[in-house]
Structure 1
Amino acid sequence: MLNPQAPTPLYYQLAEKLAAGIRAGTYAPGSRIPSEHQLAASYGIGRPTVRQAIDSLVRKGLLSRRRGSGTFVCEPPQEIDLFSLDGTSASFRKKGLAMDSRLLGNAALQTVAGDTRNPFAGRQAYQLSRLTRGEKMPVLLEELFLDAELFAGLDRLDLTGQSLSTVAAEHFYLRPSGGRQNFRISYLDDKRARLLEVATDTPLLLVERLLHFPQKEGGFFSRLYCRTDQFVFSQTLGGFNHE
């Protein structure tokens, strides 16, 4: 039962109990939870309190309402490990997901603008962007910077549909030896927001990845803007894997 004497609101207590039932498998993905009337009777609370609890879980993506049918447990989001060194496309492929990644223009050798967080700032690097879409919406925008010497001639290659880790290994004989990644919340400018089909005030996960090679430290830098409303992005801890 709920504790009306506790400082935690009753709706929050009920939401926590329902969420715990979802995590434990008491309410399986796709199953219908008890109605508002049933929950109110079971816990001795009013239906507005039940509705408030369900609303909070709907906002979190744990439950969904179906008009005329009831409230159902959502399928858990796909978990994608984007952060292993074997490349972004490989992470989707290993999960058996049909994702479409397309380059937003050709690789071009350009001087990187003054960006203190970019290790290539003020130097020339090959730059390109890639957008990955699922069946319904874009989920990932990548902005990539590659060392001009290590990847000399990259702009002459057809990169359409190719894994960059495969291109690095087969054309340039490069395999990453290590790297560093930073994670933070970011908001997009108008151009990036249009590509990911979100509002500029929508928070996204931003991953900044710097890869090292035996031939040179910091030979690759990327920014990954990740939508988290359809996928859970995770990182596997342990040694480095290569494609």
Structure 2
Amino acid sequence: MIQKDSPIPIYYQLQEQLKEMIENEELDPGTPLPSEREMAEKYEISRMTVRQAVTNLVNEGLLTRSKGRGTFVAEEKIEQTLMKLTSFSEDMRARGIEPGSKLISFEEVQADANTAKHLSIPPDTYVFQISRLRFGDGEPMALEVSYLVKDRLPEDTVNHLENSLYDYIEQQLGLAIDRARQTIEPSFATSREAELLTIDEGSPVLLLERTTFLSDNTVIEYVKSVYRGDRYKFIADMKRQR
């Protein structure tokens, strides 16, 4: 119950009650939350107060908003270790999740200065620019834009992008992927990213940039990815050096 005569703010009381229900599994992952109007009527408080409590839980990652659908108890986040080089598809399968991919665009473009630097090629070299939406069990998880040097891949590469790009490079082209350099930073979803990932504009996302090298030290791929912040987290095991 909400105690309106308590010195504890009403929004915080509601926030903690919802949090307790989630932690006690009274609300299962994926369960839709009642609307702001319904909760406001149930607790006899304002919708603005409900909105503040819900927004705080969204920011904590316990709730997630889905554009056009409502607010839901957040699914368990997918953990990806930073100690091993794996593809998106490999990460999904390792967790019993069926990976999927939708090709958004495949273009031949001239590399700008930043892309050329990552691929170790002269600026204006022609590259394949591949935009894909990545899925886990049918749910959008990430938006990837990959850049690959055109002269290093067959012309029919576009026909092999519905599955793992790493599988294609290693199993069909016979190339050996060896290592990668990756950066991660927080950001907020743009309108286009939000539409494709079915989240609200401005939702927290993780921006990844990865440069992947073959065993002969040739760069095979430079990729920029946007991962849903409500579904992904990255884990690193660290040991203190003495």
Residue 48 in structure 1 maps to residue 45 in structure 2: yes
Counterpart CA distance in 2 for 1:91 and 1:48 is 44
Shift of 1:206: 2.2
Residue 91 in structure 1 maps to residue 88 in structure 2: no
- Letter of the structure 2 residue corresponding to residue 179 of structure 1: R
Counterpart CA distance in 2 for 1:63 and 1:142 is 22
Aligned twin of 2:153: 153
- Letter of the structure 2 residue corresponding to residue 103 of structure 1: L
Asked if structure 2 preserves the Cα contact closer than 8 Å seen for 1:126 and 1:146, the reply is: yes
Residue by residue, what CA displacement relative to the aligned partner does 1:126-154 show, whole Å, maximum 9, x if unpaired?
Answer: 321212346776442210013456xx134
Asked if structure 1 preserves the Cα contact closer than 8 Å seen for 2:183 and 2:209, the reply is: yes
Asked if structure 2 preserves the Cα contact closer than 8 Å seen for 1:187 and 1:201, the reply is: yes
Shift of 1:74: 4.7
Could you tell me which of 76, 79, 92 is aligned with 2:77? Answer: 79
Counterpart CA distance in 2 for 1:203 and 1:144 is 22
Q: Taking structure 1 as the reference length, what is the TM-score of the superposition? A: 0.63
Aligned twin of 1:181: 183
Counterpart CA distance in 1 for 2:94 and 2:76 is 12
Residue by residue, what CA displacement relative to the aligned partner does 1:136-174 show, whole Å, maximum 9, x if unpaired?
Answer: 76442210013456xx13433431433111122221422
Counterpart CA distance in 2 for 1:27 and 1:138 is 26
> CA 1:123/1:31 → structure 2, altered by over 3 Å: closer, same or farther?
closer
Aligned twin of 2:232: 233
- Give secondary structure in 1 for the equivalent of 2:118: coil
Q: What do you get for the CA RMSD once the two structures are aligned?
A: 4.4
Aligned twin of 2:12: 12
- Letter of the structure 2 residue corresponding to residue 233 of structure 1: Y
Counterpart CA distance in 2 for 1:163 and 1:204 is 22
Shift of 1:97: 3.3
- Give secondary structure in 2 for the equivalent of 1:215: coil
Asked if structure 2 preserves the Cα contact closer than 8 Å seen for 1:130 and 1:141, the reply is: yes
- Give secondary structure in 1 for the equivalent of 2:92: helix
Larger-gyration structure (1/2): 1
- Letter of the structure 2 residue corresponding to residue 15 of structure 1: Q
Counterpart CA distance in 2 for 1:193 and 1:36 is 26
Asked if structure 2 preserves the Cα contact closer than 8 Å seen for 1:126 and 1:154, the reply is: no
Residue 215 in structure 1 maps to residue 216 in structure 2: yes
Asked if structure 1 preserves the Cα contact closer than 8 Å seen for 2:209 and 2:222, the reply is: yes
Counterpart CA distance in 2 for 1:80 and 1:234 is 6
Aligned twin of 1:111: 110
Counterpart CA distance in 1 for 2:165 and 2:175 is 12
Structure 1 unaligned blocks of 5 or more: 41-46, 65-72
- Letter of the structure 2 residue corresponding to residue 164 of structure 1: L
Asked if structure 2 preserves the Cα contact closer than 8 Å seen for 1:80 and 1:232, the reply is: yes
Residue by residue, what CA displacement relative to the aligned partner does 1:39-86 show, whole Å, maximum 9, x if unpaired?
Answer: 96xxxxxx317993576237726499xxxxxxxx95541423467621
- Give secondary structure in 2 for the equivalent of 1:27: coil
Asked if structure 1 preserves the Cα contact closer than 8 Å seen for 2:135 and 2:141, the reply is: yes
Asked if structure 1 preserves the Cα contact closer than 8 Å seen for 2:104 and 2:133, the reply is: yes
Asked if structure 2 preserves the Cα contact closer than 8 Å seen for 1:140 and 1:196, the reply is: yes
